[in-house]
């Protein structure tokens, strides 16, 4: 099912003390913002956010199929939602840095969806405010790993840092704040690894997380509780 749902959120919510516990690697001082709430294993029709995220993450081996158009449409939809959420914020103060995908750039399943989404966001900003946002792939992944949504064996931040390569040649002129951008905030592992790599290379620049959604824990049915 790939039905569209126009009620995907268009405002950013900050991860706070009530929600931080759902993302085990986040620290109290981390500043992370998200648009919607994604519930795993619930399918397209469960919510507008599920619809967008599942289509957004549609794997590259689906290219050429009729369903592929849903991925492109939801990449554009995510960009439009972020543009509306940022409102009149002066984004020239920030450098947007996408979290690299789980596949290395040489892998046929490499998916550059975050860069595509940020390019659409920049086009929105250009039309409404007259400037382009600063987007840089400052970090790349040197080895393919299983996508987080395809495995229960998730890497630690230290394991991800070991796989990340900092693009030294792209550091000149980075803005005063860094927006680390990803599709879904799960454990916070990728944000933590990116923040570690970028803070070491660019000390003194604050890092913020911007996510299309955060994963919420599944509710437990009262009948499933072993009293």
Q: Is the pTM of this model over 0.85?
A: yes
Structural domain includes residue 135? yes
Decide the pairing of beta strands 31-38 and 164-166.
unpaired
Number of domains composing the chain: 1
User: Model confidence at 64, in pLDDT bands (50, 70, 90)?
Assistant: confident
- Alpha helices by DSSP H, listed for the chain, are 48-56, 68-86, 113-129, 157-163, 189-201
Q: Which of 71-80, 91-100, 146-155, 173-182 bottoms out in mean pLDDT, i.e. has the lowest?
A: 146-155
Q: What is the CATH number of the domain that holds 168?
A: 3.40.50
Residue 146's domain comprises 13-218
Q: Does residue 212 sit within a domain?
A: yes
- With 50 as the cut, is the pLDDT of residue 144 above it? yes
What's the pLDDT at 145? Answer: 87
- Non-local (6+) Cβ contacts of 103 within 8 A are 109, 110, 111, 141, 144, 145, 147
Which residues, at least 6 apart from 114, have a Cβ–Cβ distance to it below 8 Å? 98, 99, 101, 181, 182, 183
Residue 171 is assigned to a structural domain of this protein: yes
The residues, ordered by sequence, that sit 6+ positions from 8 with a Cβ below 8 Å of its Cβ are 35, 36, 48, 49, 51, 52, 77, 78, 81
Q: What is the pLDDT of residues 147-204, one digit of tens each?
A: 755 556 678 999 999 999 999 999 999 999 999 999 999 999 999 999 999 999 999 9
* pLDDT per residue as tens digits for the range 20-63: 999 999 999 999 999 999 999 899 899 999 999 999 999 998 88
Q: Is the pLDDT of residue 221 over 50?
A: no
Q: Is residue 44 part of a domain?
A: yes
Residue with tokens 């993302």: 23
Residue pair 33/211 in contact by the 8 Å Cβ criterion: yes
Model pLDDT, residue 152 = 61
- The predicted model gives 61-76 an average pLDDT of 91
Q: What's the mean pLDDT in 98-105?
A: 93
- For the cut 80, the answer to whether the pLDDT of residue 219 exceeds it is no
- Say what the alpha-carbon torsion angle 147, 150, 155, 156 is, to the nearest 10 degrees: 100
């Amino acid at each position: 099912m790939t039905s569209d749902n126009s009620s995907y959120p268009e405002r950013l919510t900050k991860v706070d003390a009530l929600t931080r516990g759902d993302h085990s690697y986040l620290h109290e001082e981390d500043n992370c913002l998200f648009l919607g709430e994604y519930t795993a294993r619930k399918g397209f029709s469960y919510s507008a956010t599920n619809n967008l995220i599942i289509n957004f993450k549609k794997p590259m081996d689906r290219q050429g199929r009729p369903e592929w158009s849903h991925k492109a449409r939801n990449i554009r939809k995510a960009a439009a939602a972020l543009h509306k959420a940022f409102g009149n914020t002066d984004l020239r103060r920030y450098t947007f840095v996408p979290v690299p995908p789980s596949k290395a750039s040489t892998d046929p399943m490499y998916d550059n969806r975050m860069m595509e989404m940020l390019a659409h966001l920049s086009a929105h900003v250009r039309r409404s405010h007259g400037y382009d946002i600063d987007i840089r792939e400052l970090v790349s992944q040197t080895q393919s790993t299983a996508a987080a949504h395809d495995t229960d064996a998730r890497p630690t931040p230290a394991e991800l840092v070991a796989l990340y390569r900092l693009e030294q040649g792209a550091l000149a002129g980075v803005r005063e704040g860094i927006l680390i951008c990803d599709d879904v905030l799960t454990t916070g592992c990728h944000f933590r690894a990116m923040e570690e790599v970028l803070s070491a290379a660019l000390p003194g620049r604050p890092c913020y997380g911007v996510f299309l959604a955060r994963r919420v824990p599944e509710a437990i049915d009262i009948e499933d509780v072993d009293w």
